[in-house]
Amino acid sequence: MKTLTAIKKLVLVTMVLTFASSCLSDDDPIVVEQPETIAEIAVVTPQLSSLVAALNRADLVETLDGSGQFTVFAPTNAAFASFLAANGFASLEEVPADALEQILLNHVISTELKSTDLSTGYEKTLATEASSNANLSLYINTSSGVQLNGNASVTNADIDATNGVIHIVDAVIGLPTIVDFALADDTFSTLVSALTRSDLTFDYVTTLSTPNGTSPAPFTVFAPTNDAFASLLNELELSSLSEIDEPTLKAALDSHAIAGANVISSDLIDNMTVTTLGGDITANVSGGPTLTDSNGRMSNIVVTDVQAANGVIHVIDKVVLPKLPDNIVSKALSTPDLSNLVAALQAADGDLVNILSGSGPFTVLAPTNAAFDTFLTNNGFTALGDVPTDVLAQILLNHVISGKFMSSDLTAFGNGYISTEAIGTANNKMSMFFNASNGVTFNGISSVTSADIEVTNGVIHIVDHVIGLPTVVDHATANPGFSSLVAALGAADGDLVNVLSGTGPFTVLAPDDTAFTTFLNGTPLANVPTDALANILLNHVLSGVTTSSDLTSAGAGYTNTSASGPDMSNLSLYFNASSNVMFNGVSTVTQADVIASNGIIHAIDAVIDIPTVVTFALADPNFSTLLSALTELTPATDFASILSRTEGMNGDGINPNFTVFAPTNAAFDMLSSIPEEATLTNILLHHVVAEANVRSGDLTPNGDTTATSLEGDNITITLPGSGTNTADITDGAGNTDIGVIAVDVQAGNGVIHVVNKVLLPSN
């Protein structure tokens, strides 16, 4: 035996040295045969005597004394003593010889690796796994010294031998289990945390430590890295592993393990069904080994064949998940009639697949394949790829509603508006009109054909038409409560339907059917002159976007409509948001902020007729004293009728227009008292210029404009005004401290300019 040979060499060395010392002169050379192989060095190293004994018992001396190059991690005597005590052996003789052989071979690598050659990672030892005869792996960690399989450290490195190198270690390196590698390699620290979570109903550590030859060993484990778990938490929108419920975590961990098989990488083939404890996954090798779980998620196998004594580990970069309940995207993927929707989601801007895979909840109106085909044909596209991706994204988002709305919820509401995730005018979320009076329809064009498909992040309703981005006309057409408005738009001059289908943006004050019924008062719509009808409708249209919050924040004031007054001036509209939102004192908003692609609609409860100057006096509370003066304080003169004249508004050649200088309540408060009727009548007449619609732009710039009032005295308007006044006025009595503080409140029969003092005639 080689051990005997090594001992004989030592005896020979000793005898030669003794003989030489007694017989040779001091000048004669002494030739000594030195130990050279790994086995010989071990024999002459006192702290390795237990290793030598173990090698001798396992009949491995010849292996380490022969040719070849080896790296041996040599446990000290103290290391062997600890090993025996920890495993309940009184001596090496009690260790089964075959087990001892594998343990010793687990300290040997069949290549020479000096300490400078070692790096963090896995090497193969001469020990083997029983079922496959595959060489065991050894995990080397060089982050702080050199540590092996997490339990043995190199204490003396780089002892050179003729057939390799010895590194002395402080512990016997036992045959590693799957768990040993997971504990040793920090790459798997999150996996260890998952496997050892206290609420798990299965003891993974004990099971995966089962010795080979005992059911259910051996194992094949696909081990996710820490980065893989971090990616999973991001995917699931969770902040920590503890947020994953126990059943889901257990099912996921089961999906990473095969029991009863040591499947090495060379056993894998393309489209191979791999049956894990948690269900089937699919392996492929072309282009690099991968796993695909039942959710279609692909993991790359980044390290293969980390061989333990009771199984093998393959390292993966994405956590495998068991078949989970469908979310919106996975349900669409598994529904053949939604394949065009899936293709559209993948083609559109905005990463919609990930958005709709998020936590939600969402309500998705999912158009069928036929619905997409019709949409493409109607819009002149030959294929989905012809649709601009940004437009496609908005169209798809117009089918997505934040929140979960079952068909029963919509039925309970009856009908109304809901916001989609598409962006309408002025960056507001697009509105969608739903009607559940007979089935469920959206925007009047798309009906639900299959409702209430519940998924983990919301609900899907399959619909029969793609729902385009609605204009204000589309919204009016979709809502049956606006049928009279739609009819009026179609009947009026000016092709208003096409106008309001244009780019806009518009703000439309939309009277409902009841409002039109009241306004027409039995007169058929066909009997209303089409030009007059067009102007009335345009009096409900504002240029630009005005939201309810814009009106509320302003409180009250004037804006212009698209209707035409005298000299083609745009008519004014008075709004008051002190209690709800009211226009011209006659019409209240009943449904605000219906967002379209080219504007916004506010539903109102009354048609807003062409205003007279009296309309504004009635509507604006700043003129309440003026209104009282024109009516109850001057009963002998019917100012209301006079100033409400509308002759000529239909182009009959008569000029009924007035220019009214309207004193505010504060202006009347400056009088010591309200004069008696006769005087007050003259004063009021002194504020009106007849048969003239004098706007601020008609006044002489940087000069005076003189006009005769209905009372008979002249008034003079001077531009520019002093201080904050737009203009100054000299009245019939010669007062020059009167200021025009607001101009051009345009009515259908004249214009109002607001003044801060009451004008007085000469008498």
pLDDT in tens, 60-74: 999 898 888 999 999
CA distance 462 to 339: 12
- Domain identity same for 16 and 163: yes
CB atoms closer than 10 angstroms to residue 38: 29
SS3 215: coil
In this structure, of 66-80, 586-600, 634-648, the range with the lowest mean pLDDT score is 634-648
User: Per the structure block, which two tokens stand in for 127?
Assistant: 């020990």
Q: Among 661, 648, 667, which residue's Cα sits nearest to residue 689?
A: 661
Q: Residue 651: which domain range?
A: 619-755
| Structural domain contains residue 760 | no
Q: Among 676, 686, 703, 658, which residue's Cα sits nearest to residue 762?
A: 686
- Domain identity same for 750 and 626: yes
Q: Is the pLDDT of residue 660 over 50?
A: yes
- Domain identity same for 51 and 161: yes
Q: What is the mean pLDDT of residues 357-377?
A: 95
CB contact burial 672-683 (16+ within 10 A = b; e otherwise): eeebeeeebbbb
Residue 655's pLDDT band (cuts 50, 70, 90): low
Q: Is the pLDDT of residue 611 over 70?
A: yes
- Domain identity same for 646 and 498: no
Q: What is the mean pLDDT of residues 634-639?
A: 93
SS3 684: helix
Do the bridges between strand 311-316 and strand 541-543 make them parallel or antiparallel, or are there none, so unpaired?
Answer: unpaired
In this structure, of 131-145, 328-342, 635-649, 695-709, the range with the lowest mean pLDDT score is 635-649
Residue with tokens 């006025």: 729
**Helix or strand (DSSP H, E) at 611:** none
Query: pLDDT digit string (tens) for 17-57?
Result: 333 333 334 444 434 356 799 999 999 999 999 999 999 99
Q: Is the pLDDT of residue 318 over 50?
A: yes
Of residues 751 and 354, more confidence is placed in 751
Q: Is the CB of residue 485 less than 8 Å from the CB of residue 603?
A: no
Q: Is the CB of residue 549 less than 8 Å from the CB of residue 557?
A: no
| Structural domain contains residue 501 | yes
Q: What is the pLDDT of residue 649?
A: 45
- Domain identity same for 581 and 598: yes
* Distance set, CA 534 to CA 29, 470, 478, 602 (Å): 129, 22, 21, 19
CA distance 400 to 393: 11
User: Per the structure block, which two tokens stand in for 25?
Assistant: 């002169």
Q: What is the pLDDT of residue 7?
A: 41
Domain count, the chain: 5
Q: Is the CB of residue 737 less than 8 Å from the CB of residue 724?
A: no
Residue 647's pLDDT band (cuts 50, 70, 90): low
Of 576, 610, 644, the one marking the end of a domain is 610
Of residues 224 and 655, more confidence is placed in 224
Q: What is the pLDDT of residue 23?
A: 36
Q: What is the DSSP string of 32-49?
A: -----SHHHHHHT-GGGH
Task: For residue 241, give the DSSP letter.
Answer: G
Q: What is the pLDDT of residue 15?
A: 35
- Domain identity same for 464 and 483: no
| Structural domain contains residue 136 | no
* pTM for the structure as a whole: 0.68
- Domain identity same for 35 and 167: yes
Task: For residue 650, give the DSSP letter.
Answer: T
User: Please, how many CA atoms are within 13 Å of residue 651, restricted to the half-sphere of its CB?
Assistant: 6
Q: Is the pLDDT of residue 327 over 80?
A: yes
Query: pLDDT digit string (tens) for 201-253?
Result: 999 999 999 999 999 999 999 999 999 999 999 988 889 999 988 988 999 99
Query: pLDDT digit string (tens) for 384-410?
Result: 999 999 999 999 999 999 999 999 999
| Structural domain contains residue 116 | yes
Of 582, 610, 638, the one marking the end of a domain is 610
The domain that contains 478 carries what CATH number? 2.30.180.10
- Domain identity same for 351 and 485: no
User: Please, how many CA atoms are within 13 Å of residue 128, restricted to the half-sphere of its CB?
Assistant: 6
- Domain identity same for 233 and 289: yes
- Spatial CB neighbours of 755, under 8 Å, sequence gap ≥ 6: 661, 662, 663, 664, 667, 687, 729, 738, 739, 740, 741
User: Per the structure block, which two tokens stand in for 500?
Assistant: 């309001």
- Domain identity same for 364 and 405: yes
Of 586, 610, 634, the one marking the end of a domain is 610
| Structural domain contains residue 541 | yes
SS3 149: coil
Query: pLDDT digit string (tens) for 490-507?
Result: 999 989 999 999 999 999
Q: Is the CB of residue 599 less than 8 Å from the CB of residue 508?
A: yes
Query: pLDDT digit string (tens) for 418-445?
Result: 999 999 999 999 999 999 999 999 999 9
Residue 627's pLDDT band (cuts 50, 70, 90): very high
Query: pLDDT digit string (tens) for 1-20?
Result: 444 444 444 433 333 333 33
Q: What is the pLDDT of residue 27?
A: 47
CA distance 332 to 365: 11
| Structural domain contains residue 508 | yes
Q: Is the CB of residue 602 less than 8 Å from the CB of residue 588?
A: no
Query: pLDDT digit string (tens) for 153-164?
Result: 999 999 999 999
Q: Is the CB of residue 646 less than 8 Å from the CB of residue 614?
A: no
Q: What is the pLDDT of residue 34?
A: 67
- Domain identity same for 480 and 397: no
- Domain identity same for 343 and 425: yes
| Structural domain contains residue 107 | yes
Q: What is the mean pLDDT of residues 175-183?
A: 97
| Structural domain contains residue 687 | yes
Strand order in the sheet with 441-442: 400-402, 362-367, 458-463, 446-455, 441-442, 429-435, 415-423
Q: Is the pLDDT of residue 125 over 70?
A: yes
CA distance 601 to 593: 6
